[in-house]
Chain A
Amino acid sequence: GEDVEQSLFLSVREGDSSVINCTYTDSSSTYLYWYKQEPGAGLQLLTYIFSNMDMKQDQRLTVLLNKKDKHLSLRIADTQTGDSAIYFCAESPPGANNLFFGTGTRLTVIP
């Protein structure tokens, strides 16, 4: 199976930037995703990037993709307390019906 890895915890101060990192295993994955899970809620799709892109920006979110190293990152600018949540990266290998998720990174924003 696929093994998507993330660090478990990240703490940042309000107003700073957060960078959440992920390494994935299948270099042929076409799309890579970031999901956010708030306490007691399901997963919410934040953004995704197509594998032929290096970067995607969406308001405060910047996704960077390094295909050579199979490394994906999510940068949140001007982090707010409402950004506190668990962030999951996921890959979609060709031929798979499902997404393969990492363990999630719990982001804590300190006021």
Chain B
Amino acid sequence: GAGVSQSPSNKVTEKGKDVELRCDPISGHTALYWYRQSLGQGLEFLIYFQGNSAPDKSGLPSDRFSAERTGGSVSTLTIQRTQQEDSAVYLCASSLAGGPNTDTQYFGPGTRLTVL
């Protein structure tokens, strides 16, 4: 497909379990972003990858959250020991070159995470 894809589309898990969320960016896009959208809130930045540079992790809310990007393409966001407050829609975006001032971010449909 031509767009950003994410899987799964929905994930229900029990408190304390680990989850992995996947993002496939648009082919050729070097920049990848993860955001979190909680009910009634705007999008909260989590992490940014640009090429082979060290990721910008400044938005990760706790050390239970981590992300990696393998081969400069697919990215996985991992949440360990999930808590109920982690319930949200997790959105991934990619852009051609990175840097929002010059480049458009294209968003995937998101993964809705529910922690019971």
Contacts and interface: CB of A to CB of B under 8 A. Distances in A.
Given A42-B4, A42-B109, A42-B110, A98 B45 contact: yes
A37 B5 CA distance: 16
Please classify how large the interface on chain A is, using the bins under 10, 10 to 19, 20 to 34, 35 or more: 20 to 34
Given A98-B45, A98-B48, A31 B100 contact: yes
Contacts of A35: 107
Contact of A42 (B41, B99, B108): B108
Contact of A4 (B42, B101, B104): B42
A98 B100 contact: yes
Nearest to A102: B42
Contacts of A88: 42-43
Given A45-B104, A103-B40, A104-B42, A40 B98 contact: no
A17 interface: no
Contact of A97 (B43, B48, B109): B48
Interface of A: 4, 8, 30-31, 35, 40-45, 48, 88, 90, 92, 94, 96-104
